């Protein structure tokens, strides 16, 4: 009879844990002929192999020995040995509910290959430690999200929910899919579940949850042990997963780098540059954690201290993998203010004076930026850095111009070229060389727009062009067909004019809703709003922020625009970021 389910469990020097968890593995209500259990001893030296050799369960059981290569290598040994149609991946510290295996088999009754995750709770028999307490709170938060209705499907889940792909422990999937994706990456020793989860997700396997497939984590490690070993390795794994999977970069724990107040950034930099970590100072008091665990006030104090220690240790792990603090910062710690000008040029009769910044004022602003080390970048520069972590200067700024007025080509772009700045100009493609009908309808006056020849010339000078629709219509007021014509049509028009792809879009008047955003998402890589904030790695690429610069802004007000600091957004968090829980404000 064919085996339905292969259960793969790696272990390393955890005999005392296996003695506690194995009985639940072999007490399942699934018929024994339907499943096999494969436990891979990853070079254990504590008697694990002898313990496993004494087990004689009713189901097929394979106790495999392998050289010590880490959890990824041990997993792969078990996966290659498996013969079941499905593979269930468990950790050696998980206590299985009596129907765990049956629940996973039932969840795969459909025809579509998928990853099925079961919730994990902390066993009440766990040691009373700070890390156990934090894990309990984290599991409660995560399990509230992972309901039976939950689905994470590529590429729609490329947002904060991508953290949930780390939920591979207590997860099952077709063995064929697991082998086809190459199994675990053996170059990564921590964050291995997340990296595998991302690859399965990118292969097209959606993540679903089976709330009845419950397992309980038996926490026996001390908080000191977690700090000494796992926290640093997880920082390294987070960096490697970010480099390997661009989809993960904006939502990694490292992506919170830039969205931090100046004081915290200075302290963090000092701690990372110091040759010795201060974390070992916490080891001695943590050895008393079982004694003060029941004292809520003392425990909460140590929770805060522990989270700070995890953050430091985790960052130092990522630092070691990156090679230098400067390299790590260049990959993740960049803030890009966005500025938007409606016009730059002399005052003209009949045109609203507040709209256009004078050429003299504009040059003062660019000179101010240049003297303070800012570099004007293009939307494509931001996109490349967001995906690859390369190519951005220390202090980037995204200067944009809406509507592509001819005065911009005559006055603003030559000034930018003089100072070595690039910028993005957004074009209303149906009105090239003419005037903006929307301006005239609103009584703002008449200004000529850039011609096709001017656009091609400045594109050759390093200025980037994006689309802003065909007629400068408010997209939120259009029908579906009209919306598609405006968005996709403007991309086609501008791409044909430039002879190259167009990657960015600006919402006319800054107006958008979910329908508009979805259409723009299908056509472009980036989109700009008129909402004020600085852009970070975690900023939604279709809600990039810009602050409007007007004719009445003083240089001091302009400086405030550039240095604007808003609050970051939050979403589901990885366990390590949850442990550290640094404020992102």
Best CA proximity match to 210, nearest among 135, 99, 122, 83: 99
- Topology (CATH) of 334-562: TIM Barrel (3.20.20)
Orientation angle between helical segments 262-273 and 296-322, nearest 10 degrees: 60
- 5-221 and 334-562 have identical folds: no
Neighbours of 140 (CB within 10 A): 12
Please give the backbone phi and psi of residue 289, each rounded to the nearest 5 degrees, phi first: -60, -30
Cβ atoms of 261 and 275 within 8 Å: the answer is no
- For residues 563 and 338, give the distance between their C-alpha atoms in angstroms, rounded to a whole number: 10
Taking the CA atoms of the chain, what radius of gyration do you get in angstroms?
28
Best CA proximity match to 42, nearest among 7, 82, 8: 8
Strand, helix or coil for residue 340: strand
What is the DSSP secondary structure assignment for residue 448, as one 8-state letter? B
Q: What is the pLDDT along the chain (585 residues), one digit of tens a residue?
A: 689 999 999 999 999 999 999 999 999 999 999 999 999 999 999 999 999 999 999 999 999 999 999 899 999 999 999 999 999 999 999 999 999 999 999 999 988 999 999 999 999 999 999 999 999 999 999 899 889 999 999 887 777 788 888 878 899 999 999 999 999 999 887 778 989 999 999 999 999 999 999 999 999 989 999 998 889 888 998 999 999 998 899 988 898 877 777 778 888 888 899 899 999 998 999 999 999 999 999 999 999 999 999 999 999 999 999 999 999 999 999 999 999 998 898 876 655 555 689 999 999 999 999 999 999 999 999 999 999 999 999 999 999 999 999 999 999 999 999 999 999 999 999 999 887 666 655 555 567 899 999 999 999 999 999 999 999 999 999 999 999 999 999 999 999 999 999 999 999 999 999 999 999 999 999 999 999 989 999 999 999 999 999 989 999 999 988 986 544 444 566 666 666 664 332
Helix residue ranges, H only, 323-346: 325-332
- For residues 347 and 357, give the distance between their C-alpha atoms in angstroms, rounded to a whole number: 9
Q: Which residues pair with 425 in a beta bridge?
A: 401, 465
For the chain, give me the number of helices (H) and strands (E)? 24, 22
Cβ atoms of 170 and 213 within 8 Å: the answer is yes
pTM: 0.87
Best CA proximity match to 197, nearest among 235, 234, 247: 247
Token pair of 59, please? 């189901």
**How far, rounded to the nearest angstrom, does the alpha carbon of residue 203 sit from its chain's CA centroid?**
18
What is the DSSP secondary structure assignment for residue 104, as one 8-state letter? H
Best CA proximity match to 24, nearest among 12, 47, 7, 11: 7
Best CA proximity match to 505, nearest among 475, 478, 549: 475
Which residues, in sequence order, are CB contacts of 340 under 8 Å at separation 6+?
A: 400, 401, 402, 506, 528, 530, 546, 547, 548, 549
Q: Which residues pair with 467 in a beta bridge?
A: 427, 505
- For residues 533 and 530, give the distance between their C-alpha atoms in angstroms, rounded to a whole number: 9
What is the enclosing helix (H) or strand (E) of 534? strand 534-535
- For residues 582 and 585, give the distance between their C-alpha atoms in angstroms, rounded to a whole number: 9
Question: Is the omega angle on the peptide bond into residue 225 within 30 degrees of 0, that is, cis?
Answer: no
pLDDT in tens, 394-408: 999 999 999 999 999
In the chain, what are the helix, strand and coil shares in percent, each to the nearest 5?
Answer: 45, 15, 40
Q: Which CATH superfamily is domain 5-221 in?
A: Spore Coat Polysaccharide Biosynthesis Protein SpsA; Chain A (3.90.550.10)
**How far, rounded to the nearest angstrom, does the alpha carbon of residue 111 sit from its chain's CA centroid?**
30
Which residues, in sequence order, are CB contacts of 284 under 8 Å at separation 6+?
A: none
**How far, rounded to the nearest angstrom, does the alpha carbon of residue 543 sit from its chain's CA centroid?**
15
Q: For residue 445, what pLDDT is reported?
A: 58
- For residues 253 and 464, give the distance between their C-alpha atoms in angstroms, rounded to a whole number: 31
Q: For residue 585, what pLDDT is reported?
A: 29
Domain spans of the chain, in order of start: 5-221, 225-331, 334-562
Q: Is the dihedral of CA 256, 262, 263, 265 positive or negative?
A: positive
Render 38-52 in DSSP notation, one character per residue. Answer: EEEEES--SSHHHHH
**How far, rounded to the nearest angstrom, does the alpha carbon of residue 467 sit from its chain's CA centroid?**
27
Best CA proximity match to 547, nearest among 417, 419, 444, 397: 397
Token pair of 406, please? 């001819």
**H/E/C letters for each residue in 247-310?**
CCHHHCHHHHCCCCCHHHHHHHHHHHHCCCCCHHHHHHHHCCHHHHCCCHHHHHHHHHHHHHHH
Cβ atoms of 426 and 506 within 8 Å: the answer is yes
Q: For residue 257, what pLDDT is reported?
A: 77
Query: How deeply is 292 buried, as exposed, middle or buried, from its count of CB atoms within 10 A (0-12, 13-18, 19+)?
Result: middle
Cβ atoms of 446 and 439 within 8 Å: the answer is yes
What is the enclosing helix (H) or strand (E) of 359? helix 359-371
What is the enclosing helix (H) or strand (E) of 176? helix 175-180
Q: Is the dihedral of CA 45, 47, 48, 50 positive or negative?
A: positive
Q: Which residue has the tokens 């640093």?
A: 232
Parallel, antiparallel or unpaired: strands 215-217 and 94-96: antiparallel
Strand, helix or coil for residue 437: helix
């Amino acid at each position: 009879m064919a085996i339905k389910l292969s259960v793969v469990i790696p272990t390393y020097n955890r005999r005392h844990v296996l003695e506690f968890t194995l009985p639940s593995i072999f007490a399942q209500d699934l018929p024994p002929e339907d499943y096999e259990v494969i436990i891979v001893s990853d070079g254990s030296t504590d008697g694990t192999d002898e313990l496993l050799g004494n087990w004689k369960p009713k189901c097929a059981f394979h106790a495999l020995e392998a050289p010590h290569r880490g959890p990824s290598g041990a997993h792969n040994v078990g996966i290659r040995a498996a013969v079941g149609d499905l593979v269930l991946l468990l950790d050696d510290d998980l206590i299985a509910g009596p129907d765990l295996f049956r629940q996973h088999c039932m969840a795969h009754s459909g025809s579509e290959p998928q990853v099925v995750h079961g919730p994990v709770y902390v066993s009440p028999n766990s040691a009373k430690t700070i890390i156990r307490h934090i894990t309990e709170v984290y599991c409660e938060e995560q399990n509230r999200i992972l309901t039976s209705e939950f689905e994470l499907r590529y590429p729609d889940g490329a947002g904060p929910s991508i953290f949930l792909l780390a939920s591979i422990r207590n997860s099952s999937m077709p063995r064929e899919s697991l082998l086809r994706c190459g199994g675990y990456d053996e170059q990564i020793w921590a964050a291995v579940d997340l990296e595998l989860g991302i690859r399965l997700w990118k292969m097209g396997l959606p993540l679903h949850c089976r709330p009845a497939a419950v397992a309980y984590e038996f926490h026996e490690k001390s908080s000191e042990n977690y700090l000494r070993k796992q926290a640093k390795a997880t920082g390294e794994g987070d960096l490697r997963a970010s480099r390997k999977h661009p989809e993960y970069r904006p939502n990694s724990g490292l992506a919170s780098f830039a969205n931090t107040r100046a004081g915290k950034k200075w302290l963090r930099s000092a701690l990372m540059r110091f040759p010795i970590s201060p974390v070992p100072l916490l080891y001695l008091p943590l050895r008393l954690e079982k004694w003060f665990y029941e004292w809520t006030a003392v425990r909460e104090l140590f929770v805060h201290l522990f989270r700070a220690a995890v953050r430091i240790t985790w960052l130092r792990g990522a630092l070691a993998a990156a090679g230098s603090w400067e390299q790590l910062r260049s990959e993740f710690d960049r803030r890009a203010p966005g500025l938007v000008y409606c016009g730059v040029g002399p005052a003209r009769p009949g045109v609203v004076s507040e709209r256009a910044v004078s050429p003299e004022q504009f040059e003062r602003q660019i000179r101010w930026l240049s003297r303070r080390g800012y570099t004007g970048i293009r939307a494509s520069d931001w996109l490349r850095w967001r995906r690859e972590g390369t190519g951005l200067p220390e202090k980037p700024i995204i200067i944009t111009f809406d509507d592509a007025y001819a005065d911009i080509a005559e006055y603003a772009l030559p000034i930018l070229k003089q100072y070595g700045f690039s910028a993005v100009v957004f074009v209303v493609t149906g009105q090239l060389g003419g005037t903006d009908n929307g301006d005239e309808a609103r009584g703002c006056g008449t200004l000529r727009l850039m011609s096709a020849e001017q656009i091609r010339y400045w594109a050759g000078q390093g200025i980037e062009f994006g689309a802003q629709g065909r007629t400068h219509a408010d997209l939120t007021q259009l029908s579906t067909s009209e919306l598609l014509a405006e968005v996709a049509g403007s991309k086609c028009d501008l791409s044909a004019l430039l002879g190259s792809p167009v990657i960015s879009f600006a919402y006319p008047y800054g107006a958008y809703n979910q329908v508009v955003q979805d259409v723009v998402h299908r056509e472009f890589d980036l989109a700009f709003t008129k909402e004020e904030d600085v852009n970070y790695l975690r900023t939604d690429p279709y809600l990039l922020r810009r602050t409007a610069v007007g004719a009445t802004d003083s240089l001091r007000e302009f400086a405030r625009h550039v240095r604007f600091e808003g609050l970051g957004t939050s979403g589901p968090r990885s366990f390590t970021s949850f442990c550290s829980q640094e404020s992102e404000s």
